[in-house]
Amino acid sequence: MTGCMQGIVATGATARVVNTWAHPGCTGIEYQGETSPPQPAAAPGSGPCAVVACAAQGVYHFNGQWACSVDCLEQLLRAVVIAEQALAAAAALHAAPRVKLGRILIEQGIINEAQLEQALRSQRSVGAGKLGCWLKQQVELPEADFTAALSIQWQRPVFRMGAFQAARMVSYLPAALMEKHGALPLRITGAPERLSICFEDHIDLELLSAAERMHGLSVDAGLLTATEFWQVTRELLGQRPPACVSVEAASVPGMTAAMSQLLCDPAVITSRLVAVHGCYWLRVWKQGSTAHQTFGGSLEHDSMRHHGMHEGVLVPCDFLCNPQ
């Protein structure tokens, strides 16, 4: 799902460009009407610096708070990183005990004991591969029945693709996270709005929690059949996502120093940081008319220029960092 991408290597407080994620062969979209990218949960107004004992007026808006200077912004970043580590860990602990998939398939009459044992022997002999993959190779499993069994195992509904709006949904998760964690944004429904995220053969609670915090929306998770999952994947691949920049940092302090410099760009309106599986996902929003400008004078990507066509729309750009 990824192609060439620009990025940053951070050492201490310095950063340099390396590479960038983007969908290959993008057809591109214009952000207008219901295809506008997801906007920040609340438009920033003005307020005092959130750092304790600092009474100055805020200049930089980050995670719903204001900072008056680069130093204060970096303090806020460090505090958010600590809080996000705890939130990500808590989300991972909420996973309910699961019944084994093989047992569910037997109870549903989809396979028998001998077929399960054969798949388990193959899995053990190779030492790799999910049980479901081995069963699909060795047994003629009806796709709908297999997904229904996964639904029982993960205690989540089976979604239907329906009238999928790829142009609307492509901005809700960075392509790199979609690919790595097998998660696809499927639809926005209801009032208040809810985000549905789908998976093919598992449910990632930590990613769901991160998406909730990033977008300020309740998130519903479910499963798609393999056919529909890959159809949604192909349709997302046909869209142009926001720019996504890789930040490689030697340490968490190096990461926060590099990010504070990025957020001082005067074109940045607001920003938010969440943690997911040891990765830090920073999303910044720039005004549409200035989204083509470079970050920190060094970073520019074609999708920034493309998505910046409509003045008045806040255009997202993502930064992903895995500090050592």
pLDDT digits (tens, 9 = 90+) for 152-191: 999 999 999 999 999 999 999 999 999 999 999 999 998 8
- Does domain 158-237 match CATH 3.30.300? yes
What single DSSP character describes residue 35? G
Q: Which carries the bigger pLDDT value, residue 305 or residue 67?
A: 67
The stretch 34-63 carries a mean pLDDT of: 76
What pLDDT shows up at residue 267? Answer: 87
Q: Which of 34-38, 137-141, 143-147, 204-208 has the lowest mean pLDDT?
A: 34-38
Percent of the chain past pLDDT 70, that is, above it, reads 78
Say if residue 47's pLDDT is above 90: no
Q: Is beta strand 60-62 parallel, antiparallel or unpaired with respect to 218-223?
A: unpaired
The stretch 279-299 carries a mean pLDDT of: 63
Residue 171 vs residues 5, 102, 219: alpha-carbon distances, Å: 16, 36, 15
What single DSSP character describes residue 293? S
Q: What is the CA radius of gyration of the chain?
A: 21
Residue 289 vs residues 306, 312, 323: alpha-carbon distances, Å: 11, 7, 32
Predicted TM-score (pTM) of the model is 0.81
Give the contacts of 25 (CB within 8 A, at least 6 positions apart). 237, 238
Q: Which of 33-42, 170-179, 256-265 has the lowest mean pLDDT?
A: 33-42
Average pLDDT along the chain: 80
| Angle in degrees, CA 269, 270, 272, rounded to 5 | 160
Say if residue 103's pLDDT is above 70: yes
Q: Helix or strand or coil: residue 304? A: helix
Say if residue 6's pLDDT is above 80: no
Q: Helix or strand or coil: residue 127? A: coil
Q: Which carries the bigger pLDDT value, residue 220 or residue 291?
A: 220
3-state helix, strand, coil split of the chain in percent (to 5) is 40, 25, 40
Bridge-partner residues for 321, per DSSP?
247, 280
Question: How far is 310 from 158, CA to CA, in rounded Å?
Answer: 37
Question: How far is 284 from 167, CA to CA, in rounded Å?
Answer: 20
Element (H, E) at 274: strand 268-276
The stretch 243-271 carries a mean pLDDT of: 90
Say if residue 56's pLDDT is above 80: yes
Say if residue 307's pLDDT is above 90: no
Say if residue 134's pLDDT is above 80: yes
What pLDDT shows up at residue 97? Answer: 64
Q: Which of 67-76, 164-173, 215-224, 294-303 has the lowest mean pLDDT?
A: 294-303
Q: Which carries the bigger pLDDT value, residue 95 or residue 296?
A: 95
Q: Which carries the bigger pLDDT value, residue 294 or residue 170?
A: 170
What pLDDT shows up at residue 126? Answer: 84
Question: How far is 38 from 23, CA to CA, in rounded Å?
Answer: 19
Q: How far is CA 167 from the centre of its chain?
A: 16
Q: Which of 139-143, 160-164, 211-215 has the lowest mean pLDDT?
A: 139-143
